[in-house]
Amino acid sequence: MDLRNPFGLKDGQIVMIEDIPQSMNGQRCGCVCPACKDIFEARMGEIRRHHFAHSGKGCSETNAYIAGLYMLLNEYLSSGQPLYMPPVIVQFDLSEYYYLDETNVRDHVRILSRSKDEKREIVLYTSKYVQFTASKIMTDSDNKPVALLAAVADKRLAIRITPPDTVCKRSSASQYEDYPTLEIDLSDEGERIQNSPKSELFKYFMNTHEIYHWVFNPIIEEAFPRVIMRSKTYYDAAQARIKKETEERLAEEKRLEEARKAAEAEKQAAEARRLEKQRIAAEAKKAKAEQEKRDEARRIHEETGGYISGKIGSRYITKTLDEITEKRPYSNILIEFSRSNFEKAISDIREYKQAGVSMLYTKMCFISLAETAILLQIYDELKSTEPDTAEVLEYLMDKSGIVYK
Ligand SMILES: [Zn+2]
């Protein structure tokens, strides 16, 4: 890194290269390295940026730069100028699913120096200026500065400087031991430091607020009871809301399920009613058909005087004809039969009337030759046109001994 160091040390005080008049170029500046105390020379040429450089081998420019930076700030504090302290803001997590208590609150709080989201913050202290009565540079085992420890009364504050990122790679400042630790972030201020006299830099330290950040301050514990309370309040409200929403959702699901079941039951009931209606209709139809069959049988029975109740010519009718001829074999009344009388009797038979059968049978038992001729004539006609009626006639002729074949 082609670092140009603007910090020199003269008579125990930091001198910025901008404070050196051109006339004191080179070793005439009378400065030494802030880190290794080797002799410095001021290099204030026309082209390159003004800076100090070791006249001999010396230490590294980075060492010199960082040592100079801490010494500058130390001088600022020692000169009685107050340091800006940003507000102490405690930022905390709020969750619907857990709340904070003494055991976990530390894992869920952060210290802020500027407000980000007021809902999750407690401003513990507002900003202020503090005038320190003592300060000293703390170094590591390599004698490199790592923090500035400032004191007022019995209070201590560690200050860590983040140097310009042109000096060394940026890394976030960390807590120094157990002290409240403030970072002064100069990562973007390489140019300003390079080009400013010491008085300007002191004004800059005084008036610029955004470079100060809290890294750590145990004082935030004062806010823990309030953080815990707000976390619990938030959690309780969220849980109540979640519970209410869950209950409403379950109630809605239950209502939908019941409506679905009711609709299903109604559908089944409707189907049952339809089937019952169908069954009743089928039974009624069957009953009606049976009734019609019975009515028809009764009508035939009544019309035939109870002897002929089916189709003439069937075996059943033959049997009832037997009954007729056995029950009423003869009559004493002789009826004169013309063709029209025969036809009247046959018409009755055709209409299933027992009167016709019995009348014809009675006559046929005492039939004359002329009448036999008429009867056979009718029989011949009926054989081709009405075989059923002819069959009844055949039976009657068999019974009464008339030869017709
Ligand atoms: Zn040096």
Q: How many structural domains is the chain composed of?
A: 2
- Give the model's pLDDT for residue 372: 83
**For range 311-336, the mean pLDDT:** 53
Domain-embedded: residue 80: yes
How many angstroms does the Cα of residue 296 sit away from the middle of ligand 1?
139
**For range 245-256, the mean pLDDT:** 96
**For range 148-155, the mean pLDDT:** 96
- At 344-370, the pLDDT tens digits run 888 887 777 777 777 788 778 777 777
Residues 72 and 212 both lie in one domain: yes
How many angstroms does the Cα of residue 380 sit away from the middle of ligand 1?
159
pLDDT above 90 for 242: yes
Q: Which of 189, 216, 243 is the last residue of a domain?
A: 216
- Give the model's pLDDT for residue 311: 44
**307 — pLDDT class (breaks 50, 70, 90):** very low
Domain-embedded: residue 185: yes
More confident site: 219 or 333 = 219
**45 — pLDDT class (breaks 50, 70, 90):** confident
Domain that holds residue 343: 315-400
pLDDT above 70 for 308: no
How many angstroms does the Cα of residue 31 sit away from the middle of ligand 1?
11
Residues 82 and 197 both lie in one domain: yes
How many angstroms does the Cα of residue 116 sit away from the middle of ligand 1?
42
Q: Whole-model pTM? A: 0.64
Q: Picking from 148-162, 211-225, 288-302, 379-393, which range would have the lowest pLDDT averaged per residue?
A: 288-302
Q: Which of 182, 201, 216 is the last residue of a domain?
A: 216
- Output the 3-class SS for the chain: CCCCECEEEECCEEEEHHHCCHHHCEHHHCCECCCCCCEEEEECCCCCCCEEEECCCCCCHHHHHHHHHHHHHHHHHHCCCCEEECCEEEEECCCCCCCCCCCCHHHHEEEECCCCCHHHEEEEECCEEECCCEEEEEECCCCCEEEEEEEECCEEEEEEEECCCCCCCCCCCCCCCCCCEEEEECCCCHHHHHHCCHHHHHHHHHHCCCCEEEEECHHHHHHHHHHHHHHHHHHHHHHHHHHHHHHHHHHHHHHHHHHHHHHHHHHHHHHHHHHHHHHHHHHHHHHHHHHHHHHHHHHHHHHCCCCCCCCCCCHHHHHHHHHHHHHCCCCCCCCCCCHHHHHHHHHHHHCCCHHHHHHHHHHHCCCCHHHHHHHHHHHHHHHHHCHHHHHHHHHHHHHHCCCCC
Domain-embedded: residue 280: no
**For range 132-143, the mean pLDDT:** 94
- Give the model's pLDDT for residue 317: 52
Domain-embedded: residue 45: yes
**For range 266-287, the mean pLDDT:** 96
Q: Picking from 73-82, 155-164, 383-392, which range would have the lowest pLDDT averaged per residue?
A: 383-392
Residues 168 and 60 both lie in one domain: yes
- Give the model's pLDDT for residue 336: 64
Residues 166 and 58 both lie in one domain: yes
- Give the model's pLDDT for residue 376: 87
Q: Which of 193, 216, 239 is the last residue of a domain?
A: 216
How many angstroms does the Cα of residue 39 sit away from the middle of ligand 1?
8
**313 — pLDDT class (breaks 50, 70, 90):** very low
pLDDT above 70 for 5: yes
Q: Picking from 73-77, 323-327, 368-372, 388-392, which range would have the lowest pLDDT averaged per residue?
A: 323-327
pLDDT above 50 for 310: no
- At 204-216, the pLDDT tens digits run 999 999 999 999 9
How many angstroms does the Cα of residue 62 sit away from the middle of ligand 1?
9
How many angstroms does the Cα of residue 41 sit away from the middle of ligand 1?
12
How many angstroms does the Cα of residue 26 sit away from the middle of ligand 1?
16
Domain-embedded: residue 349: yes
Domain-embedded: residue 55: yes
Domain-embedded: residue 287: no
How many angstroms does the Cα of residue 5 sit away from the middle of ligand 1?
10
Residues 189 and 335 both lie in one domain: no
Domain-embedded: residue 105: no
